[in-house]
Structure 1
Amino acid sequence: MSASTSSSIGYGPRHRILFDGDEHKYELWEVKFLGFMKIRGLDAVLKNIPIDEESDDTAEIDEGKNEEVYAELVQVLDDTSLSLIIRDAENNGRSAIRILR
């Protein structure tokens, strides 16, 4: 493999789902991200996310998978979007997506 060829580490095509921070493109980006989470088997964590935090029933989700969603999410966000979730949703993929929405 040549140095100019991008190498994959087996986790999927993240380069195609990078969010650039443009709020007008968020909805399309979210669809791509949710598709990627489905491929990774993490989509159940992100189903039916309530708008407000008080009505969030996290007892029914797998906390380990929720943390995996967060780990995947932080790798595909621009710095501005990441700064929105870094403190208020640390290791919580559901909360992070709610904040971004």
Structure 2
Amino acid sequence: MATTTTTTATGYGPRSRLMFDGDERKYELWEIKFLGFMKIRDLDEILQNLDDEYQIERSRLQAKKNEEVFAELVQVLDDRSLSLIIRDARNDGRAALRILREHYQPRGKP
């Protein structure tokens, strides 16, 4: 089966357009695209209220979806960004995206 530039070999979606190259200036736009892709995959509930300390109740289904978010996320990150999350957020898509957001969009004075 041949692949195109807009789908993956598994046919799950347009990951090639979602690749993040580690450019801090592009992070916010990339995050919006990634969140949209998670909405399409019905995984967006895991990433809601990401900035809050609120923890989603960890049922088996939500834990599995959180792992799926992580699996999707690691496929679209450059090596530098992946190294930021690999130890502290393995299999935790919610924590991984929070780490990336804190790194690429710090909340201090410019």
Q: What TM-score comes out, normalization by structure 2 length?
A: 0.79
Between the two proteins, what is the percent identity of the paired residues? 66
Q: CA RMSD in A?
A: 1.9
Give the alignment of 1:10-89 within 5 angstroms: 10-50=11-51, 55-59=53-57, 62-89=62-89
4+ runs deviating over 4 angstroms? none
In the alignment, the residues of structure 2 paired with residue 100 and residue 73 of structure 1 have an alpha-carbon distance, to the nearest angstrom, of 11
The 10-residue stretch of structure 1 (5-14 or 28-37) with the greater mean CA deviation from structure 2: 5-14
**Cα displacement string for residues 39-78 of structure 1 (whole angstroms, at most 9, x for unaligned residues):** 0000000011126xxx241325711000000000000000
Is contact 2:46–2:56 with CA below 8 Å preserved after alignment? no
In the alignment, the residues of structure 2 paired with residue 99 and residue 56 of structure 1 have an alpha-carbon distance, to the nearest angstrom, of 15
What's the CA shift for 1:8? 4.0
Structure 1 stretches lacking a partner, 5+ long = none
Number of residue equivalences = 96
Equivalent residue, structure 2, for 1:92:
92
Q: What TM-score comes out, normalization by structure 1 length?
A: 0.86
Structure 2 stretches lacking a partner, 5+ long = 102-110
